[in-house]
Structure 1
Amino acid sequence: MASFIKALLLVVVAEMGDKTQLLAMAMASKYKAKQVLLGVLVATILNHALAVAVGSYLSTMIPMNVVKIVAAVSFLVFGLWTIRGDKLEDEENKKVKFGPIVTVAIAFFLAEMGDKTQLMTITIAAENTQPLFILMGTTVGMLIADGIGILGGAWMCRHIPEVYIKWVAGIVFMFFGTLTLYNSVSNSLLTPLYISLFLGILGVLIYLFGVKFAYFGQVCERKVIKIEESEVVNE
């Protein structure tokens, strides 16, 4: 159950502001929320089942201590990725001759390939020995996060600056990464010199990804534009 809760919470955090959440929000402007969520469910089960299988396989091939260090570094990377933000290409605009649920499932599955949440699912699965709970946790986490995007995206965009959402999520990831790294590396590396060096490098990376090369306004701008277009049409 602990694996389920951990996977659920980390995926919810990872998905906030992610391009697949934006895709779900965009699809919700075309189809009913129930159809979008069903499509997300189908795509997530297929995509994350693949990710969990890969992660479980890696855990049998690589020593656990190495897995934990790789997981820690991965969480730090996910944190930097999150504060940089993400942008949606044109997945929602591609012409697919299927019904709403299948259309959403295909677009979502393709968008999730190589995405942050899929890579994180592989990492969590490699770290744990309960693949079914990991799959359940990540699937429920995706539904919660994308449900928030679909149902509460408009309110969040109007009342909470997107940059706050990205930074809170990114800090959560970097905290988990730092804690896991601290518990995994040799004591000989836990000296003031190495800790200061680590914090200095992390600080520079946070500045580069969170300020210098960050995507600003990607999620909310697209959502607000769609809301305004819908209001104009209704008038």
Structure 2
Amino acid sequence: MESFLTSTFTVALAEIGDKTQLLSLVLAARFRNKWAIIGGILAATILNHGLSAWLGNWLAQFLQSNLGQILIGGSFIALALWLLIPDKDEDINNSFDKFGAFWVSTILFFLAEIGDKTQIATVLLGAQFESVIWVTIGTTLGMLIANVPVVFAGDYLMKKIPLNVTRAFAAAAFALVGLFHIFG
């Protein structure tokens, strides 16, 4: 039960202000079928976090070393800088919309989670606890806790929160996490 509760709590907190939460906003503004978006988030997270928890025992040996902490920190800082650059297709490209909200959400969330802080957290939790299943269920629930409200309130939030401000806030959060990993 500790693995489930710890996984749920830490990932829900780590997801706040994360790039995948911003992705939830974009998807909510783009698609009307909110349940299909949530289904895509669920499918992508189970697959991504399941693999991450399973690989946790092997990867933990690298992540716990000084070099591992520097690599994680450097990745966060690089991602922070990348988040400051707006995507060229951000406003107009809807060419993949023909595949539907579920498939677009599943693919984009799976790809966005690769190397993400919640994926790294899942790898570490998988290494810490013996139950890969409970870690996967917990981290998936944490992602849903953080993203489902954003999906349903996305239209309202997109009108109230400027994307550049959100991007800058997320970049600052990633940079701080990166610096903490390197110097903390």
Q: TM-score, normalised by structure 1?
A: 0.59
1:136, distance to aligned residue in structure 2 (A): 4.0
Give the % identical residues: 22
Q: What residue in structure 1 maps to residue 22 of structure 2?
A: 17
- Secondary structure of residue in 2 paired with 1:158: helix
Distance 1:133 1:70 in 2: 27
Q: What residue in structure 2 maps to residue 125 of structure 1?
A: 122
Which of 98, 109, 130 matches 1:94?
Answer: 98
Task: For structure 1, list consecutive stretches of 5 or more residues without a partner in the other structure.
Answer: 96-102, 184-235
Q: What residue in structure 1 maps to residue 104 of structure 2?
A: 107
Q: What residue in structure 2 maps to residue 164 of structure 1?
A: 165
Q: Which moved more, 1:174-183 or 1:3-12?
A: 3-12
Contact 1:51 1:119 in 2 (8 A): no
When residues 105 and 49 of structure 1 are mapped into structure 2, their CA distance, relative to the original with a 3 A threshold, is: farther
Task: For structure 2, list consecutive stretches of 5 or more residues without a partner in the other structure.
Answer: none
Compute the RMSD of aligned alpha carbons: 2.9
Matched, 1:79 2:80: yes
Distance 1:24 1:57 in 2: 36
1:176, distance to aligned residue in structure 2 (A): 1.5
Q: TM-score, normalised by structure 2?
A: 0.72
Contact 1:76 1:174 in 2 (8 A): yes
1:170, distance to aligned residue in structure 2 (A): 1.6
When residues 8 and 47 of structure 1 are mapped into structure 2, their CA distance, relative to the original with a 3 A threshold, is: same
Q: Which has the larger radius of gyration?
A: 1
Q: Deviations over 1:38-92 (max 9, x none)?
A: 34223321232123333443224x2611322222222222322333344555464
Q: Deviations over 1:138-173 (max 9, x none)?
A: 423432443243222222222222222121222112
When residues 78 and 140 of structure 1 are mapped into structure 2, their CA distance, relative to the original with a 3 A threshold, is: farther
Q: Which contiguous aligned blocks of 4+ residues in structure 1 show a shift greater than 6 angstroms?
A: none
Listed as ranges, the matches of 1:1-235 within 5 Å are: 1-14=5-18, 15-18=20-23, 21-27=25-31, 29=32, 31=33, 33-60=34-61, 62=62, 64-65=64-65, 66-86=67-87, 87=89, 90=94, 92-95=96-99, 104-115=101-112, 117-120=113-116, 121-128=118-125, 129-130=128-129, 131=132, 134-183=135-184
When residues 180 and 137 of structure 1 are mapped into structure 2, their CA distance, relative to the original with a 3 A threshold, is: farther
If asked which structure has higher relative contact order (CA below 8 Å, sep 6+), I would say 2
